[in-house]
Amino acid sequence: MSGPLAVWTAMVPADATFDDGQVAVSAAGNRVEFADGSSRLCATSGLWNVPLGFGNPAIGDAVERAARDASYLSLFRAPHRHAEQAADALIALAGPERYSRVVFTTSGGAANDAAMKLARQYWAHRGARSRSIVVGLHGSYHGTMYGSHALSGDDLLHSVYSVDRRSVRHVTHRDGGEELETLMKREGARIAAVVVEPVLGSGAHALSDAFVARLLALREQHGFLIVADEVATGFGRTGEMFATDRWDPAPDVLVLSKALTNGAAAASVLLVGSRIASAFVRGGWTFVHGETQAGTPVCAAAILAVIDELRRIDAVPTVRALAVEVARLTDGWRADGLVAEVTGRGCFVGLGLRHEDGSRLSGPEVLRTVSAIAGEGVLVQPGPSAIGLIPAYGFEASELREVDRAVRAGLRTMREATP
């Protein structure tokens, strides 16, 4: 290979080159095929997107019919029946007592942008224009659009891109909400919304019950909106249909993507609670947000097929049973000293990696670890000093044994290679 390909691959240096063993050509079930003829078991559900398996026939058939029967319809200034049906199904799944309206967007990042706009407009129309600050969490990831980039708590070259963070604040979730409460005492009257991932996508750190309880109590006290970014946790991943199902009262906005279409369409949605939706209806306000490819018939068909498939496999108990088997694996790795800690919830697991002296692995070391495990035939997800295990819901016992062997071999290879 003489130089970089024309396709500019995400999140790697621009001079990166790839051999045929790294270039995917197809995927089926839980496996990805590569240009050199090799095959690897995907233990990331296709970057969280494909919990129902690559090439799911029911979803593929639904998308094919929609592409043929209504290849494109937009949601600009009028609805279409396909989006109406998908929206109704999503509200029924998440609970009509919790959410009442659906905004279609095209990615998790775009959806978080829309959520920030929606929160700020809600307060502006209520005469509280100063309530424009949005609070996120340190270590969070919400996307790389300009709004979601500002909201993301990871270090993502914010200053290089001149990302405007003047109306964004970040707090830790590790202290049970003390820093958040301190911020509210100082700036509560200016805060429009707090945006949280129930399990942080970077490192798979789940919010503690103490943090969630304080977050909900502070909303009652200060009135801000809560946006739950369930791009990674939605549709059964944590052992509940949505990780926030037990939050009472519900978040004001639920952000969904990834598993929403099982990766079949570039799609995301905001499920909006009645507090916001009713205010917009009463005021006759126009939400100035629209995306050309949002809520197309193909997107809607995929959503409906995903919901049907989740019901067919009885997703919540299925994930809970699989999570028990995953925990057996991870407990074994920790007991054998291969991983330092296990984080996450359900089938969304992070494996903390440390050197023998207790120091954390660097980013390049994590990537080499992921590569070593891939060399053993299994794909896992890199994270901050950790790797992620995010299996599809149909993983079989033989596939879990394959993961066990590959992770053990890859981690031992890296340990032996470390001076």
Instruction: Name the residue ranges covered by the structural domains of the chain.
Output: 57-312, 314-417
pLDDT at 238: 98
Strand order in the sheet with 268-272: 101-105, 268-272, 253-256, 225-229, 191-196, 133-137, 168-171
pTM, rounded to two decimals: 0.96
pLDDT at 2: 53
Name the band, by pLDDT with cuts 50, 70 and 90, for residue 419: low
For residue range 148-172, list pLDDT tens digits in order: 999 999 889 998 989 999 999 999 9
Q: What is the fold of 314-417?
A: Aspartate Aminotransferase, domain 1 (3.90.1150)
For residue range 107-124, list pLDDT tens digits in order: 999 999 999 999 999 999
Q: What is d(CA 123, CA 418) in angstroms, rounded to the nearest whole number?
A: 54
Residue 3 has pLDDT above 90, yes or no: no
Residue of 336, 338, 304 whose CA lies nearest to 407: 338
Residues 271-286, mean pLDDT to the nearest whole number: 98
CATH architecture of 57-312: 3-Layer(aba) Sandwich (3.40)
For residue range 32-55, list pLDDT tens digits in order: 999 999 999 999 999 999 999 999
